[in-house]
Amino acid sequence: MFANGRTHLAIPGPSVTPDEVLRAMHRTSTDIYGGALLDMTVSIYPDLQKLARTASALPVIYLGNGHAAWEGAIANTLARGDRVLVLATGNFGIGWANQARAMGAEVVVVDFGLTTGIDLSRTEEALRADLASGTPYKAVLMSHVDTATSLCNPVLPVRQVMDAVGHPGLLMVDCIASLGCDRFEMDAWGVDVMVATSQKGLMVPPGISFVYFGAKALAAREGVGFVPAYWDLKPRANPPAFYGLFGGTPPVQHLYGLRAALDMIMAEGLENVWARHAGLAQAVWAAFDAWSAGGPVSLCLSDPSLRSHAVTAAYAGPGNGDALRGWVTKFTGVTLGVSLGRDPAADYFRVGHMGHVNAHDVFGVLGAMDAGLKALDIPHGEGALAAATKVIAAAAKKAA
């Protein structure tokens, strides 16, 4: 009834694509061996470095999704039989572990569950025991933000623990959900490999992914005996021609879209982008706090310091997650995210607030959800929208 008109995608990726990006992509293919495309593409790499806060790491672009980025990172740094430690806090940490295992690595998973984040004492214990074994882990893998749980893990403390025990492994971080949303400092936090994609904080449709290789990771590449030709970073780092940057035909339209998205991010300022995401996330949390005062609807993470600024995972009561998602799609044109990795999945849902999103987008989503709770007779506290607007008003007053 009320869903006609422009719909809104509030899932945690793919995120909403800005009109500027769509216009940049709306073009026929062009000469892929040089000219304007080459000049434009060369300009992308320095801005990708700025986005990750690195002065020296090499960003490599692959045609593919996040799973492609995982594979590109593993293929260039791990040989078959290498041991790796995975610090898992949700569905995607387990997924990266499974992919490393399928590619021949010997994988040890420390699973911290869905709500508590990485425990540094347990991490230190695992690393010390590993050093005593005589065959240390080649890498430690972790998610900055696990999109399934919405849990944001502090990265620097993990590096500090590795350094404190003298562990030589690479620190490899999944930033697929966090890049361009939550603060990430590749150099300052001592990250050796970072993976990301185009379709979340970078606001570009799915299709390209990024792996950043620091100096230690580039050195590790030399010790890997076999790397499949497509994934090999070496010809992409020093290609004989522009064609070699992508292992073949470049993703022409995606590159133009990425250039437009990076222009938008740089014009706003990365610090301002992070602040916008933080403020909008806090508005979402304030609404949930109000709802939770009178019913089952609640945030999955009780500690605000562990919550991502890109996505929020929530509980709605038995079967209510699916019911609420279905109602808001049918009657308001808002699409909420399904739950991943929680059982029963129908009780949960996720709200994406990443990338090209502002206050009126968030207010619209929260209003649609509030109407759905009322229409479905799901018990909930009142004042959610008022609480959200107070957060934004206070933040705007402080920034003025």
Q: 10-56: per-residue pLDDT in tens?
A: 999 999 999 999 999 999 998 888 788 988 999 999 999 999 999 99
- Domain, as residue range, for 259: 31-267
User: Whole-model pTM?
Assistant: 0.96
What pLDDT is recorded for position 227?
95
What pLDDT is recorded for position 91?
95
Report d(CA 237, CA 27) in Å as an integer. Answer: 28
Confidence of residue 110 (pLDDT cuts 50, 70, 90): very high
What pLDDT is recorded for position 221?
96
The residues, any chain, with a CB within 8 Å of residue 28's CB and separated by 6 or more, are none
Length of the chain: 400
Burial 119-145 (b: 16+ CB within 10 A, else e): eeeebbebbeebbeeeeebbbbbbbbb
Burial 237-252 (b: 16+ CB within 10 A, else e): eeeeebeebbbeebbb
**What is the average per-residue pLDDT within 102-122?**
97
Please indicate, yes or no, whether residues 125 and 235 belong to a single structural domain of this protein.
yes
Please indicate, yes or no, whether residues 118 and 246 belong to a single structural domain of this protein.
yes
Please indicate, yes or no, whether residues 281 and 207 belong to a single structural domain of this protein.
no
**Each residue's pLDDT tens digit, 262-305:** 999 999 999 999 999 999 999 999 999 999 999 999 999 999 99
Please indicate, yes or no, whether residues 104 and 248 belong to a single structural domain of this protein.
yes
Please indicate, yes or no, whether residues 58 and 180 belong to a single structural domain of this protein.
yes
Report d(CA 113, CA 166) in Å as an integer. Answer: 26
Residue 232 is assigned to a structural domain of this protein: yes
Please indicate, yes or no, whether residues 200 and 53 belong to a single structural domain of this protein.
yes
Residue 389 is assigned to a structural domain of this protein: yes
**Dihedral sign, CA of 66, 109, 116, 370?**
positive
pLDDT over 80 at 1, yes or no: no
**Each residue's pLDDT tens digit, 364-387:** 999 999 999 999 999 999 999 999
Residue 355 sits in a domain whose CATH number is 3.90.1150.10
**What is the average per-residue pLDDT within 201-217?**
98
312 secondary structure, DSSP code: E
**Each residue's pLDDT tens digit, 219-235:** 999 999 899 999 999 98
Q: How far is CA 99 from the centre of its chain?
A: 17
Please indicate, yes or no, whether residues 137 and 108 belong to a single structural domain of this protein.
yes
**Of 249, 267, 285, which closes a domain?**
267
Whether 47 and 385 have beta carbons less than 8 Å apart is answered as no
Q: Annotation-wise, does 350 bind a ligand? A: yes
**What is the average per-residue pLDDT within 170-187?**
98
347 secondary structure, DSSP code: G
Residue 128 sits in a domain whose CATH number is 3.40.640.10
Confidence of residue 399 (pLDDT cuts 50, 70, 90): confident
Residue 25 is assigned to a structural domain of this protein: no
Q: Walk across the sheet containing 348-352 and list its strands.
A: 298-299, 311-315, 348-352
**Each residue's pLDDT tens digit, 118-149:** 999 999 999 999 999 888 999 999 999 999 99
Residue 195 is assigned to a structural domain of this protein: yes
**Of 267, 282, 312, which closes a domain?**
267
Residue 140 is assigned to a structural domain of this protein: yes
Q: What letter represents residue 304's amino acid?
A: P
Number of domains into which the chain is organized = 2
Please indicate, yes or no, whether residues 120 and 78 belong to a single structural domain of this protein.
yes
Report d(CA 21, CA 23) in Å as an integer. Answer: 5
Residue 112 is assigned to a structural domain of this protein: yes
What pLDDT is recorded for position 134?
84
**Of 242, 267, 292, which closes a domain?**
267
What pLDDT is recorded for position 241?
66
Of the chain, the percentage scoring pLDDT greater than 90 comes to 90
What pLDDT is recorded for position 130?
95
Residue 1 is assigned to a structural domain of this protein: no
The CA-to-CA distance between both ends of the chain, in Å, stands at: 39
What pLDDT is recorded for position 163?
98
Please indicate, yes or no, whether residues 242 and 296 belong to a single structural domain of this protein.
no
pLDDT over 70 at 240, yes or no: no
Please indicate, yes or no, whether residues 249 and 133 belong to a single structural domain of this protein.
yes
Please indicate, yes or no, whether residues 315 and 230 belong to a single structural domain of this protein.
no
Confidence of residue 245 (pLDDT cuts 50, 70, 90): confident
Please indicate, yes or no, whether residues 208 and 105 belong to a single structural domain of this protein.
yes
Residue 124 is assigned to a structural domain of this protein: yes
